[in-house]
Homo-oligomer: A and B are copies of this chain.
Amino acid sequence: MHFVGLVRRDNAGRRVAWLEYEAYEPLALGAFDRIAREAARHWPAAHLAIHHRTGRVELGEPSVVIAAASPHRAEAFAACRFAIERIKQIAPIWKHEFFEGGKVWIEGATANPDDERALAEAVRRACE
């Protein structure tokens, strides 16, 4: 299965014009590997592939794509959901939102791959 995250027009009451994603690329690729290994511990049959755009991304375009394959659909769903939650937690990627009248860096979570509570929350959301 595939999860595709699309750039939305509306965010926090602002009308988005476009986004620019910035990544610390070698660390981001390492984080994707880490996420795949974490998922494999919980859903051993599932295989993950993760891709995230960088640079300018227009409205309606995909910013992130996750593919999860498994003989069992429950594991594919769980691994895929886990991956998107975990990307938001630990992937060193930043969203620069350009809207009518300005721009703003969106800042979410302080990335800490060793935070066991965050990991547990991602597993919980993955709906085993």
**Residue among A5, A80, A125, A127 having the largest count of chain B Cβ atoms under 10 Å:** A127
Contact between A81 and B71, CB atoms less than 8 A apart = no
Copies of this chain: 2
Chain B residues positioned under 8 Å from A1 (CB to CB) = 1-4, 80
**A77 interfacial by beta-carbon distance below 8 Å:** yes
**A8 interfacial by beta-carbon distance below 8 Å:** yes
Q: How far is the CA of A71 from the CA of B3 in the complex (A)?
A: 13
Residues of chain A whose beta carbon lies under 8 Å from any beta carbon of chain B: 1-5, 8, 71, 73-74, 76-77, 80-81, 84, 125, 127
A-B pairs with beta carbons under 8 Å apart, 21 shown: A1-B1, A1-B2, A1-B3, A1-B4, A1-B80, A2-B2, A2-B4, A3-B73, A3-B76, A3-B77, A5-B73, A8-B71, A73-B81, A73-B84, A74-B125, A77-B77, A77-B80, A77-B81, A77-B127, A81-B127, A127-B127
